[in-house]
Amino acid sequence: MFLSFKPSEKPLSASSKVAYPNSDPGPGLSSSVDTKEGLMNELVQPPSEPKKAIQTYTELTDFLEVPSPENYTPRNGFLEFGSTSIKFYLVALSGDHAGEVEKEIKIPWDLGFEVFQNEHISPGSINFCLETLTKLSEEYPDIPFEGVTAIGTSALREAQNVEAFRKMLFDKLGLKLGIIEGGIEAFLLETGFKNEIHQYPTGLFDLGGGSLELVEYLSPISTRKTSLPIGAIRVHCALNSARDSLEYIRQGRKFVLETFKKQMQDGIPDYAKVMGTGGTVKAIAKSLRKDTFNLKDVQSLIQEEIHGNTHRDLLPYRRRVFLPGLLVVESLFSALQTKEISFSQASVKGGLISLSRLIPM
């Protein structure tokens, strides 16, 4: 297709350190300045007071503006800027398929590695993002990017140059990017999946690159939402000092369990069911060839990783974060006191689309 970025197919070892994947600043940009901060200063001056992330339901609905009449189309676009990929969804706005995703495009990038190691979006990734979105706008001319809903999650929340990135997207494409807090991520996950819950209490988690969102459906009218800083990429970046795979795994287990203990202080209910979503959970189900798995299943995959039996049927960008993702899921069995986890197709996407449809035209 038009995707020019190809992540390395080499899996990350326990001591891997990730360089910027697109360190060339690109045509028209100076290569003589520092690739972390100097180039960003050359490209654009960020606002003196950065905007805070979207934290409340009211702020979110204010951000989800109704398209103006000149921008109204039979379908709309949604962009989600995650730690491992940019996701573009085409959604029907009317007819029998209103609210359904017509097409989904996923473009891998290394945003999470850059931000969780260096606290900045690299100039190469900014340039790559602009080029990719420009090609998308050309490929789908019926979708005005001024009306596209775009959100950023954990990695963009922590990037020190995110305001420069936002300004560049607006100046070049007219795209308004909203950065949402972890609590809003969990709220969108809950909103998009609540009609699928029939047993209580049920736990649903979304394991991403930077964070894990946990939604606890305690009863038909009560939920509890928690955002935990234990995404697969974040865990890997915290373990870069590990000397070998065994130390990497020991430190990873300790890091995840200590984070759970610190964050989950209200107690865990006796779940009737625990479901998981996100790229790592999907990759586990694919590797095991079943959607419901137990602790021994996950530990068998960890042993295969230790002994070099890499899962070649996974996409390269997913392979890179498979082991740290396994360590997070392994720890969830004891943290959530569950014997089984089932893969689910729940996502922030569903909640975002549902909420957008509630806004009156």
Residue 12 lies in a domain: no
Single out the residue of 82, 8, 17 nearest to residue 237, CA to CA.
17
In a domain, 15, yes or no: no
Q: State the CATH number of the domain containing residue 137.
A: 3.30.420.40
Whether 141 maps to a domain, the answer reads yes
Range of 123's domain?
38-182+350-358
Give this prediction's pTM. Answer: 0.76
- The answer to whether residues 99 and 91 touch, using CB atoms and an 8 Å cutoff, is yes
Residues 173 and 227 in one domain: no
In a domain, 26, yes or no: no
Q: Please tell me the predicted confidence (pLDDT) of residue 206.
A: 92
The answer on 211 and 98 residing in a single domain is no
Residue 55 lies in a domain: yes
Q: Judge whether 335 lies within some domain.
A: yes
pLDDT score, position 346: 67
Q: State residue 42's pLDDT score.
A: 39
Based on the domain organization, do 303 and 222 belong to the same domain? yes
| Domain presence at residue 239 | yes
Regarding whether 178 and 113 lie in a shared domain, the answer is yes
Q: Is there a single domain that holds both residue 169 and residue 294? A: no
The answer to whether residues 360 and 48 touch, using CB atoms and an 8 Å cutoff, is: no
Do residues 175 and 248 both lie within one domain? no
Claim to verify: residue 260 and residue 122 sit in the same structural domain = no
What pLDDT shows up at residue 327? 96
Judge if 298 and 275 occupy the same domain: yes
Is 242 in contact with 219 (CB distance < 8 Å)? no
Listed as ranges, residues in the chain with pLDDT below 50 are 1-49, 57, 61, 64, 66-67, 69-72, 357-361
Q: What is the CATH number of the domain that holds 332?
A: 3.30.420.150
Q: How many domains does the chain have?
A: 2
Instruction: Return the DSSP state at 308.
Output: T
Q: How far apart are the first and last CA of the chain?
A: 35
Same domain, 270 and 284: yes
Burial class (CB in 10 A: 0-12, 13-18, 19+), 313: exposed
Q: What is the pLDDT of residues 106-125, one digit of tens each?
A: 999 999 999 999 999 999 99
For residue 78, what is the enclosing H or E element? strand 75-81
Contact 231, 214 (CB under 8 A): no
* Contacts of residue 55, Cβ cutoff 8 Å, sequence gap at least 6: 181, 183, 184
Do 233 and 295 fall into the same domain?
yes
Same domain, 94 and 225: no
Asked whether residue 6 is domain-assigned, the answer is: no
Q: Do the beta carbons of residue 302 and residue 249 sit within 8 Å? A: yes
- Are 310 and 172 members of one domain? no
Task: Give the full edge-to-edge strand order of the sheet including 273-277.
Answer: 222-228, 212-219, 202-207, 273-277, 340-343, 292-294
DSSP state letter for 252? H
Give the span between the Cα atoms of 52 and 11, in whole angstroms: 35
Give me the pLDDT at residue 268, please.
76
